[in-house]
Structure 1
Amino acid sequence: MAGPIPDLEERATLCARRLYSADRVLLASHIDADGLTSAAIAAQAIERAGIPFETVFEKQLDEDAIAALAATEYDTVLFTDFGSGQLDVIGQHEDAGEFTPVIADHHQPADRETKYHLNPLLFGINGASELSGAGTSYVLARALAAVSDDGSDTSQGVATDGGVGANTAAPDDATDARPDNTDLAALAVVGAVGDMQASSGELHGANAKIVEEGVDAGVLETGTDLALYGKQTRPLPKLLEYATDVHIPGISNDERGALRFLDGLDLELKRDGEWRRWSGLTNDEKQTVASALVKRAVTKGVPATKIDQLVGTAYVLAEEPVGTELRDASEFSTLLNATARYDRADVGLGVCLGNRDEALERARKLLRNHRRNLSAGIDLVTREGVTVEDHVQWFHAGDRIRETIVGIVAGMAMGNAGISRSRPILAFAEKGVDGDDEPDLKVSSRGTHSLVRRGLDLSVVMGEASRAVGGDGGGHDVAAGATVPNGAEREFIERADEIVGNQLS
């Protein structure tokens, strides 16, 4: 059974064999959309292989978190969507014989080697733009399916919430499970989209190979479509009003303008007094709206390069109901971000595993709260503005924006009045550790793909600048994070500004 990414197949098989030989596995994963989908893919693959396991999530895989994992009685720990950057610490516990790590990650590795390490960067594949954490977990899942394809006994039963049970029922979608795990490609695409890897409107490289497998498995559909967020769930006026990535004067951020634009089209855009959604339009109707939108953008002087961004590749989860957040990869990833970032990773995992009752309803409530918090955060940053240095811009939210979403707020605020897209943005927020008068600070950074093409690498920026002030950090070229001591902001900014200047010179 050939895997989707030939360059990774040998290492993926090695890791899969180690998991398959384990008596039980502790699965540890990150909390964002990519981390949740990584965990869900790994959990289902492990379950289908008949291996008892438990799932835990960590907001940050620091020394204390790794020590806590080592203190468990698990001999095998699978890290998904993190672990590579913490290999120096993980390796100390491995050397002490406390556990054997298996890592499926796509972040920059620390200067340390370990045997069971699956990371695209080790094989010349860009982990920031070509393969996400979920994609790496998918490659491992495909290998695990091949390794366990010998008719092994799975009668012990593994609970779908990550625990061990006797003849436990499988997830709600188990009847659609594929023995080769290719049905999990849909979650891998959700993770990649949530990790901002759909640059220039589509997924590239190894991600595209996973898309192909998902389409072949019947769990994904792709096609050229309007590149606006909310095509499944937002009424048409709100879809256009809130579409601000490409600002169209008279429509974007203009409720009345969006209504006037739609009223001017010769289409039935309301039914039973309710505005229709993009997902409910026919192809001809979609073409009419899209053509009128492009024409309006041209007449308002929107640059051609921006107008091109109005159209991209849509990634649709074919088995999910039309008109729900789960149908669209982008909306699905946002739903997941609204769970674990508010300490409810169990809810996000449940949705990924097919719980369409309690977990989905809870996730939707969390999403409504998440949207309110994002809106308030963006308003705060736009109102108070940013401090502009020679090469970076930054703001300090203190405890007014939750540390788990401050990076999302920073990225969404770019392009608003006074907040440039021509330089990366850094955002500080208090980590809010109980009982700590001066908690460490979380720093999130966001750039653009055009800045990355010019040489920006925020993983290097955040790593070097944070370590210069006694902290630590890393991530990807277009988005990265760090933890720094309270009071070190000025020194950190100066160092980051210097590094960015050198990268973009």
Structure 2
Amino acid sequence: MRDEATCLLKKGVETLLSLPKDVTIRVLSHYDTDGVTAAAIVCETLYRRGYNFHVTLLKHPFEEELTKMREEGNEFVILLDMGSGQIDMVKEFGCPSLVLDHHHPVSKSTVFDSIVHINSNLVGFDGNYEACGASMSYLFAKTVDENNVDLSPFAVTGAIGDRQHLGGFRGLNKTIFEEAVSTKRLKIEGNRLKVMGKKIVEEITLSVDPYYTSLSGRKGEAEKFLRYLSLEPNKRYSELSLGEKKKLHSALILNLLRNNLQPEVVDTVVQQRYVSDSLPDDLDRFSEVLDACGKSGETGLALAVCLSDGEKYQKAVKVEQSYRELLLEHLKSLEEGELKENRSIQYFFAPKASIGSVLSGIVMNYFPYKGKPVFSLSSKNGNIHVSCRATRALVKQGIDLAAVMRKVASRVDGTGGGHKIAAGGTFKNIKEDELIKIIDEQVVQQRKRT
């Protein structure tokens, strides 16, 4: 661990442990897989130290949500997977606060009065690929007590949720993954598809990540595909022979390669899977279920599943199935013509920001690759919410979506930020077509500078 991170973590822990046990610790985190697992790690750590906590999982660190914190009279606030872009608002909480984040920070300072600001990018870990909110939270948990190593599967799940496992774990994530394996908190299974335990025709029809163009969401086409391969559609994946599995793997990968997908994406289709005795499913599936619950408004269920309430996992799986079907409806529509294209971007309109953020990632990774980042736009209460995704190849070519969102926010009324590869923003008093034009111009300008 980097020396500065160690010093800052110790400072944050000292502040926490100086508080009496009757203090309720206020915890704020994001509502996606990374945010949920970050919250699970910190809340379990607080519980083990005898502290009560009050946790809220937010869609985004909106100004109105953070403004409420000033009115609560909190004595200590911990922000996870957020906060580095909202330091000015955190300063107004009126109490000691700890920020554990991996998004692009608006300030390089690590201590503001009573705020300890621990951002991965400021302590030697790239927040785009090497560290996520959950892995930063895990560092905090280990600083509180080395025995919290059993929480490492949550940190790895958070990294998977943020797609930081593509191409293999790196940096801090790699260190935590290796620790989880060496301490037998994680086990590595052989290469296979990510499956739900259903018939193989349903596995393909309901597949969202990966999304198989012309097959996902189309049961009839999936049946034809399998019969062409001389595979029985109603068999389960576990019932296939080794030869049948290899035939299926090859055909599905060929389907993806026709879209000129990025190698690190294709490599995740058939790969090793990670399981933990402490979790109810392999980490890829567990990540999907948590993300679906969070983005379906079932944040309490997502956190409860993590905090040792395994009985609720089947309920969470049902939420995920409904969410999966909703995504498939939108993906089919995008595949059939609702995805638009400008000079330097691809874009579409989504009914909700939470759905748009997921769809933009799937479109970027699995739709025919055009070398342009994908933007989703959704309108609510006069605001336009934007989510955008790129690939590692585009980032290497100079694309920085967080910079695009900040630049757009500087030109219109709004806020924006995130990562080079994935970012977002909220904008006011502007029409959708005008905003699309400005975004397109900003990406064109980035292209010209490289």
Taking structure 2 as the reference length, what is the TM-score of the superposition? 0.87
Distance in structure 1 (CA, Å) of the matches to 2:277 and 2:171: 25
* CA distance 1:71–1:295, shift in 2 (3 Å): closer
Distance in structure 2 (CA, Å) of the matches to 1:19 and 1:257: 59
What is the percentage of aligned positions where both structures have the same residue?
A: 26
Alignment of 1:317 with 2:260, yes or no, is: no
Task: Quote how far apart the aligned CAs of 1:20 are.
Answer: 1.6
Deviations, residues 111-165 of structure 1 (Å, cap 9, x unaligned):
363521111100231111111111110111111115xxxxxxxxxxxxxxxxxxx
Name the aligned partner's letter for residue 185 of structure 2: V
Distance in structure 2 (CA, Å) of the matches to 1:474 and 1:236: 40
1:168 corresponding residue in structure 2:
none
1:153 corresponding residue in structure 2:
none
1:412 corresponding residue in structure 2:
362
Q: SS of 1:441's equivalent?
A: strand
Deviations, residues 66-116 of structure 1 (Å, cap 9, x unaligned):
22112112211000110111112212x15xxx1111011111112363521
2:377 corresponding residue in structure 1:
428
Q: SS of 2:320's equivalent?
A: helix
Name the aligned partner's letter for residue 10 of structure 2: T
Distance in structure 2 (CA, Å) of the matches to 1:77 and 1:312: 41
1:150 corresponding residue in structure 2:
none
Distance in structure 2 (CA, Å) of the matches to 1:295 and 1:372: 24
- Where does structure 1 lack aligned partners over 5 or more consecutive residues? 147-179, 432-437
2:8 corresponding residue in structure 1:
11
* CA distance 1:294–1:365, shift in 2 (3 Å): closer
Task: Quote how far apart the aligned CAs of 1:7 are.
Answer: 5.8
Considering fraction of residues, name the structure with more helix.
2
Deviations, residues 404-459 of structure 1 (Å, cap 9, x unaligned):
11111122234777x6441011111123xxxxxx4312111111222122221111
The equivalent position to 1:290 in structure 2, one of 237, 241, 246, is 246
* CA distance 1:487–1:225, shift in 2 (3 Å): same
Q: SS of 1:61's equivalent?
A: coil
Q: SS of 1:199's equivalent?
A: coil
Q: SS of 2:310's equivalent?
A: coil
1:471 corresponding residue in structure 2:
414
2:286 corresponding residue in structure 1:
332
1:64 corresponding residue in structure 2:
64
Deviations, residues 173-205 of structure 1 (Å, cap 9, x unaligned):
xxxxxxx111111111111111111222x2222
Q: SS of 1:129's equivalent?
A: coil
The equivalent position to 1:443 in structure 2, one of 374, 381, 386, is 386
2:182 corresponding residue in structure 1:
216
Distance in structure 2 (CA, Å) of the matches to 1:297 and 1:17: 51
Name the aligned partner's letter for residue 375 of structure 2: L
Distance in structure 2 (CA, Å) of the matches to 1:220 and 1:141: 18
Distance in structure 2 (CA, Å) of the matches to 1:89 and 1:112: 16
* CA distance 1:19–1:290, shift in 2 (3 Å): farther
Distance in structure 1 (CA, Å) of the matches to 2:310 and 2:139: 26
1:105 corresponding residue in structure 2:
101
Q: SS of 1:314's equivalent?
A: strand
Name the aligned partner's letter for residue 22 of structure 1: L
**Contact 1:232-1:277 at 8 Å conserved across structures:** no
2:305 corresponding residue in structure 1:
351
Q: SS of 2:85's equivalent?
A: helix
Name the aligned partner's letter for residue 227 of structure 2: R
- The two structures, once aligned, show a CA RMSD in angstroms of 3.1
**Contact 2:208-2:324 at 8 Å conserved across structures:** no
Deviations, residues 465-502 of structure 1 (Å, cap 9, x unaligned):
13321100111121111111153433432332233223
Taking structure 1 as the reference length, what is the TM-score of the superposition? 0.78
* CA distance 1:231–1:122, shift in 2 (3 Å): same
* CA distance 1:479–1:181, shift in 2 (3 Å): same
**Contact 1:37-1:188 at 8 Å conserved across structures:** yes
- Where does structure 2 lack aligned partners over 5 or more consecutive residues? none
* CA distance 1:429–1:411, shift in 2 (3 Å): same
* CA distance 1:223–1:443, shift in 2 (3 Å): same
1:177 corresponding residue in structure 2:
none
Distance in structure 2 (CA, Å) of the matches to 1:348 and 1:301: 34
1:276 corresponding residue in structure 2:
236
Name the aligned partner's letter for residue 171 of structure 2: G
Distance in structure 2 (CA, Å) of the matches to 1:70 and 1:251: 46
**Contact 1:421-1:448 at 8 Å conserved across structures:** no
Task: Quote how far apart the aligned CAs of 1:64 are.
Answer: 2.0
1:198 corresponding residue in structure 2:
165
Deviations, residues 31-89 of structure 1 (Å, cap 9, x unaligned):
11111111000000111122222112222222222221121122110001101111122
Task: Quote how far apart the aligned CAs of 1:347 are.
Answer: 0.5
2:399 corresponding residue in structure 1:
456
The equivalent position to 2:203 in structure 1, one of 234, 239, 246, is 239
Count, aligned residues: 436
Task: Quote how far apart the aligned CAs of 1:380 are.
Answer: 3.0
